Structure 1
Amino acid sequence: MAETRLIQGRYQLLDRIGRGGMGEVWRARDESLGRQVAVKCLKPLGPRHENSYLRVLRERFRREARVAASLQHRGVTVVHDFGEHEGVLFLVMELLDGRNLSQLLEDNKQHPLPVPEVAEIADQVGAALAYTHRQGIVHRDLKPANIMRLNDGTVKICDFGIARLGHDIGFTARLTGGGVAMGTPHYMSPEQIAAGSVDHRSDLYSLGCVLYEMATGVPPFDMDDAWSVLVGHRDTAPRPPSELRPELSSPLERVILDLLAKNPDDRPEDAAELVRRVAEARRAEAVLPQVPQPPVRAAEPRLPAWAREMTTGSKAVGTEPPAPVPPDPAAALTGSWTAGTHRPARGGGGTERPPPPATLLTDLTLRQDQALRLCGEGRWSEAGELQRSALAERQRLLGADHPDTLAARHDLAATLGRLGHFDEALREYARTTDGRSRTLGPDHPDTLAARQESAHVLGRLGRHFEAREVYAAVLAARERTQGPDHPATLRCGHNLAFSLGRLGRLEDSYRMALEIAAARCRVLGADHPDTLVTRCEVAHVLALLERRRDALRIYREVAAARSRVLGADHPDTLAARYEAGICLGRLGRAAEALDIFRTLVEDRSRLLGPAHPDTLRARHAVGVNLGRLHRWEEALTEARDVFAIRARVLGADHPETLVSRREVAVGLGWLGRWPDALAVYRDVAQARQRVLGADHPDALASRNDEAHCLEQLGRSAEAVELYRQVAALRHSRITARERSV
């Protein structure tokens, strides 16, 4: 971003003072108030990223802004303003004059801070956390780089960028994708590492790690790789800091060690109790004068053999951001994977698998990153090949049930699903589920995630009854282990409502979708994208129940909310407008529907191109509503144009191409050209039988169209025979479905 950049005609960017995963921080001048401020900008992203990915990043940034702007405490960075300028989201904060704790340690050549300063930091940060926790906000990424000590001695917590509202547990974790725990390895709580339930006591553990480092010069688990650090947090008691810093007072040491308790119940109850205990420790005995000494490094705890040579991260120190490191897969570190030795390979006779070379693991991680980039660019086939080879190598090096192997298998399954290879995707999800059930347990969130994805694939295969069974089982497990209002539970409930609708259980689907929409509104907010998705499902089922006026009202409300939150040109906003147009057409308000669809054609042509499937859907709807207005010559021309483009772009036998082909026949019939219409209807029926099967509902509908056309031509005997064949096929299909149920 250029140094002369002016944001919203008010904030003049002067120089960059920081950079992180979410964006950059600039020193800027507020031209309106004549003061200097800090402006955090979300990194501009290229067009290669999918809209859903961009939406997630923007929603996460907006959440940061809303949360941070609500905080008013001397120990928390003040947020003045936030907004969006030319596609770049920004947050305006007070400009702090001081150094963060990482910089203080570096300035001190990694020697510990004076003990009185450690106690003062504990007191001020504890008071700030007591305030934020009362607001229901958990920071989740407390570390030295996020704590500033100003030149006047004030200590402030910065960057609530991954803060989580206490009543909204799960939202931010979902935004990270893939179930990967957020946070910095040297300061993560055991419950974060295990991807478990996280509350305010996780911040207390992270503060304990910070205070330990300030008091000794090193974090409590100071190994060279992230895996070893994470295993230490989970299974190893920290070395008492007084062994590294003899002059540390016993009461203050007790406070630090209690903060580092593995079980959240064994830590101080809340930050207010921490502040009280720090005050007692400061009163209990005079703190001895600090004599700077080189820190003594803690002995490395006993770790699994497979973890000792893995290198993926470093602690947060220094003024410049650390070099990029591969994504940390630590969220899967649970259960037997933190035992004393690495599991043997299958068929290995129970012998310990030698630790894989770090260079091979690094190469695998880089290949996995490359595959993710290919996915982001829509190059799914190339990504799948890369993921398949990386999976085979991980299985050879680490074993079939290693968390990394299972995560790679999960990613491959997702890619196969995007490619439409649903049978293969289902097999890979089943293998992932089996492996995670053995190593993590059947109710672990990662295991449930794989089961839930398998249900989605079953639905794509048309196996809706099986999908419903899986969704129902996963929902029961999530309610039992994560609670009924956890976002993952609500997501599963949404999927179950969808599945019920596809099974024709419309009343059940409606009731469940309505319940999930209300819960998501309560937990996530009325305008949250997930809430709006479920409201769309409510509207969809209402339309199927012939309650189209109610459906229209909801679609319009969703379109307005999405326009407000995501923007008028966002694909989800346009999709809600499209559904509103469908409702209008079916309510007999074809002129209003025609106006909506023509505007949609213009917007989608501008944003996506004239031959994009979504643009063509809007053009098809234009033709349909021209027909409803009895403008059949125009409708026939539109149908033929859309059919020709779809045949070229999607293929002659694609379902949407055949829908347009049928619309041509409808227009010909209304214009009295029944022989031409019959030829087209027969082409469509034959194609659908060939592609979908003779008893598929769409194929049967086409045979009915053909019979109706024969009647119009006075060929009643042929029409009756065709109706009879259709009735027999439909009866056979219904009987077969009832037997399967």
Structure 2
Amino acid sequence: MAENRLIQRRYRLLGTIGRGGMGEVWRARDESLGRQVAVKCLKPMGPRHEPSFLQVLRERFRREARVAAALQHRGITVVHDFGEDDGTLFIVMELLSGRNLSQLLDDNRRQPLPVADLMEIAEQVTAALAYTHEQAIVHRDLKPANIVRTADGTVKICDFGIARLGHDIGFTARLTGTGIAMGSPHYMSPEQIGAHGVDHRSDLYSLGCVLYEIATGVPPFDLGDAWAVLVGHRDLAPEPPRTLRPDLPEAYERIVLELLAKDPDDRPRDAHELGKRLADARHPHPGRDVAAGPDELTVPARWLPSWTRGMSLGAPAGLARRPHGHPADEAATVLTDTWTGWGGGPQGGEAPPDAGIASPAPPDDHRATLAALAGRHTAALNLGRLGRWEEAGEAHRALATERERLLGPDHPDTLTSRLEGGHTASRLGRSFEAHQIYAEVLAGRERALGPDHPDSLSCRHHVALNLGRLGRLEDCLAMTHEVAEARARVLGPQHPDTLATLFELAHVLGKLGRYAEALHTHRDVAAARTATLGPGHPDTLAARYEVGIGLGRLGDSAGAVALYRDLAAACAAARSADDPETLRARHGLGVNLGRQNRWQEALVEAREVAATRGRVLGPDDPDTLVSRREAAVALGWLGRWDEALDLYREVADARERALGAAHLDTLASYGDLAQCLEQLGSADEAAALHRRIAALRQERAARRR
């Protein structure tokens, strides 16, 4: 393959990323959408191979594309396109910014990764495997080189080149019959080696090999030649990891050794069971039987991989710009009406019949203690509103412990404090920790209040949202649908909480690629919110904005243009012409004008929005820079590359000042700038910029370690 080659008149190859047995991977530019992508091309084999051999390779390559394109999960590399160009088969994938696990070990001089990183990688890969196995897909070649940890800490499985659809046994047999190696020796399960039936438990064995290696620095059977390695998998017991790394928690060692069981029946039943085991190893439950050894408790919940520090998630979709005090927020944050066991709000009052309190009123010192806890609750909420999530989390955890001591584990206010701890964990990117908290709070609320109580349904709503953050989109969809139905039954179909869950349901449908269903649901929510909350309510406007996104996704840019014009006018009437929501709608208008090739109008809109955002939000605000970049894109499509270059430079410089040279947004701006330089014929300067981008990415990876 030649650098700068244009594949299918759309994907320009810029430089090789890597080579392997199946082919070579290139960094490329999608000329149509102006984005960087990865293109995997079938490696030219030459005339020495039999036509039937080449045909099997081509069939396998197409199979990789079909399998991978059907998968939609945050832990699996996204496939954008595939096809054939001048005899070359290719797949277009998202371009990942990060390092695969093999590279991470090499970067660390083959030293084991930190325990907290091991846990996080194991849990994320397990979640992705649970999803793929639910789709009846077995990867069959899981190894460190096929698992990438991206710059933001997301762990993704790559390369489904020899994945097997569960119902397609005949094709797998044909592939195996050609004698083509199926898997990598250091990570092959005994059943793969013995040509026995292979199912999802083979992937679990391979995952055990991967986890063993990143925990100890060496694979479980590092025996010199490939044949000896295969015999080791089939006949030898692996050396316990703790003999190579004594600080490894015993619970983690036990999981790895069970994954490496020779008999598939002796391994965890499936990835879901493995996920629960890993969660228990990270967060042991008080009172759990730890007869197997005290090291069961050696992985405290506070341990986090280095890349998670300082991370935060945005608010749930539809709530990002909701003002404080909105009813849907209050349901998750305020105390119950009877926040003490005595019904003791500021007005005092009698105990509820089921409070279980013998005395009609607390002693004065006890009342003062409970009042102090109420003040601490408010203070913790305010820390969160200020963005001080670490402090807020510590405050909520301490408060939950104190309330449990005074009020009991299932008291509504104890559970409220624990729920807030889950929210802060989610804000900090600790989705697995948040999931455990939400699940425990849900169990407590259902015991105390019943499954259909609004507080129980509110907690189930949060559990569902967090499943999406964990990449378990199908589980998220199913639970969100259940919560929506239950809220409609208990609260009514047009209650704001019911509509909030339906809004999230539409969001998940979109993430799963079910755009038509997502659009239909967002339209229903927008109509219901218009009727119940009014056309100018923030939630109504948020739903209408999502309708515009759906129209654009489905290619109805004309419909999106009309909607965004109306939405901008509605936002301006409800707020002001300079309000951020008005400008967001106008930004969507400009994007869809571009999709209609109305680039001159798109340019005018982008420039006006950028100027207003600069005045209202500041010249270096992220939204301002996004609009300025949109203006540069329009200039490029109009052939005015000199003007576009100036804008791209300004955006890159501003992002570097505000975020630093190695920030992902800054690197994306450098990429835009390099592409513009190429269009202007400044190939040397563009190449130098690409080299700088590569160096900054390496620097970013080194800092993260």
Asked which structure has the greater CA Rg, the reply is 1
Please, what TM-score do these two structures have when normalized by structure 2? 0.48
